[in-house]
Structure 1
Amino acid sequence: MPELTAEDIALAGEYVLGTLPLGERQAAARRIVADPAFSREVARWEARLDPLAEEVRPVAPPTRLWAGIEARAYGSPAPAGSGLWRWLAGASALSAAFLGAILWFGEPLMPTQGRMWVSDMISVDGSVRLAALYNEKTGEMRVSMGGSEPASGRDFELWLIAGEAAPISLGVMPRRGQAAMPIPAALRDRIANATLAITEEPRGGAPGGVATGRLVAKADLRRI
């Protein structure tokens, strides 16, 4: 039987996280019965993620907090049920970002590994996606690049945007697959709540360390 692909492994993780659309989830459930390798991968994801669930303690936000958020987002009154759906959308996005990042690790992410920051950047048309995971303890960022590759003679470059400061290049991304990127010590205190962005630049990176190409995608780093 052929080995599972990276897409198969990601699918198993999304099944366990519960982020798949209904039709894809039903197809994955049927595959668990028919495909022993896929079934074992689902079991591995459950073993990885179950300990994380034990670290989470649900906290109900005050009613006034949701009211304030919805008033700013929609005006008053907010559409019926909007708070629930906006929360679900946010939770799903964080789960997807978390999943994409932890595919790097063959084990659960535990608190002893240091504080983690995750970002999941997806282009507007959905053709390019980059998941990034930063470990404060090691000072290393791990990235996983998927989707369409840059045009011939071009590279995707990753940028750190902290506050009002000019974007700082973190390096050229792999055309596909994964890379480990040690973050210089002078930049590590800027990671918290910063934004990551991808631009398309000339092969080898932006000339002079200043972005010149189109913005492909960007997303905030979020603590997990």
Structure 2
Amino acid sequence: MSDRPDISPDDSGLAAEYVLGLLPEAEARAFRDRLEAEPALRAEVLGWERRFAAMAEAEVEPVAAPSGVEAQLMGRLFREEPERRGAGLWRWLAGLAVAALAAIAVLVYTGVPDRGAEPDFAARIAAEDETLVLAAALDMETGRLAVLREAGDVAEGRAQELWLIAGEAAPVSLGLLSTDAETEIVVPADLRPLFAGAVLAVSDEPPTGSPTGAPTGDVLATGTVSEV
């Protein structure tokens, strides 16, 4: 469940199911449309992506659950009641290894782990046909720009370069995107104030990036930066 006052429990559950790919196609399309217009919802999606990424990367040591916890947990997960929003998320959690039962119990009884500091700006960068989808979030204080790849790959022998376009100014390169799921870029202090209302774009470039300091290949995806 979200700790954001501007996100309802239902929307938080929707965001989690969207990140896990559990929404039916029609609901997923409607949710993507909302992401374009709702910065708070985009930030919630980023928060869930970070939580699940941390859970996937964590090394959970097998532990013995306290007496009675397993029975209580299974009773809460599978009790007979009408289908509720977020049930798909709990079904996914229930499929985790029994060795992580104690960790799951913490999630059930105390909520998800703290997501850490909220970003100041966020953007969803997507191709028109959704073949490339990225989520980006900027922390103004540190300049840390986290970019998560939700869909699409880098073409073999090519690179994807991220650009900041502020108003009518020429595009400024922020760096090359990793072929992995996550890229972290440190934005120089003089560029951070330009993010408000700017556009982030991804272009197809040679392996070492644009040789001219400007985009030279096709623009693969764009997204408007919004304040969180």
* Superposed pair shares fold, TM > 0.5: yes
Q: Check the 8 A contact 1:101/1:143 in 2, yes or no.
A: no
State the one-letter code of the partner of 1:191.
F
- Structure 2 segments unaligned to the other structure (5+ residues): 1-12, 52-112
The correspondence for 1:176, drawn from 173, 180, 183, is 180
Which residue number in structure 2 is paired with residue 20 of structure 1? 23
User: Residue 98 of structure 2 aligns with which residue?
Assistant: none
Q: How does 1:183-202 map to 2 (within 5 A)?
A: 183-202=187-206
Name segments (4+ residues, structure 1) moved above 4 Å. Answer: 22-25, 87-90, 107-110
Could you give the per-residue CA deviations for residues 129-160 of structure 1, whole angstroms, max 9, x where no partner exists? 11100111222110012323222211111000
Map 1:139-178 to 2 at 5 A: 139-178=143-182
Shift in alpha-carbon separation, 1:89–1:13, aligned structure 2, 3 A = closer
Q: Compare the two structures and name the one with the higher helix fraction.
A: 1
Alpha carbons of structure 1 residues 137 and 105: separation in structure 2 relative to 1, 3 Å: farther
Q: Which amino acid aligns with 1:214?
A: D
Once the two structures are TM-superposed, the CA of residue 222 in structure 1 deviates from its matched residue by 0.8
- Amino acid paired to 1:98: A
Aligned to 2:218: 214
Structure 2 counterpart SS, 1:210: coil
Task: Measure, in 1, the Cα distance between the counterparts of 2:18 and 2:126.
Answer: 20
Are 1:138 and 2:142 counterparts? Answer: yes
**1:101-126 deviations in Å (ceiling 9; x for gaps):** 2245445557xx46521111111221
Whole-Å separation in 1 of the counterparts to 2:27 and 2:34: 19
Q: Which of 10, 34, 55 pairs up with 1:91?
A: 34
CA contact (8 A) 1:114 1:136 kept: no
Question: Residue 100 of structure 1 contacts residue 120 of structure 1 at CA under 8 Å; is this kept in 2?
Answer: no
Name which of 95, 120, 123 aligns with 2:127: 123
Between the aligned partners of 1:108 and 1:94, the Cα distance in structure 2 is 26
Distance (whole Å) between structure 2 residues aligned to residue 196 and residue 23 of structure 1 = 27
Equivalent residue, structure 2, for 1:102: 47
Any idea what the Cα deviations from partners look like across 1:41-92, whole Å, max 9, x if unmatched?
Answer: xxxxxxxxxxxxxxxxxxxxxxxxxxxxxxxxxxxxxxxxxxxxxx987534
Higher relative contact order (CA 8 A, sep 6+): 2
Q: 3-state DSSP class of the match of 2:190?
A: helix
Q: Residues 89 and 204 (structure 1 numbering): CA distance in 2 closer, same or farther, change over 3 Å?
A: closer
What RMSD, in angstroms, separates the aligned Cα atoms of the two structures? 3.4
- SS for the counterpart of 1:143 is strand
Structure 1: where are the runs of 5+ without partners? 1-9, 26-86
Cross-structure match for 1:53: none
Identity among equivalent positions (%) equals: 32
Contact 2:205 2:215 (C-alpha < 8 Å) held by counterparts? yes
Return the offset for 1:22: 7.7
User: How many residues are treated as equivalent by the alignment?
Assistant: 151
TM-score (norm. length: structure 2): 0.56
SS in 2 for 1:196: strand
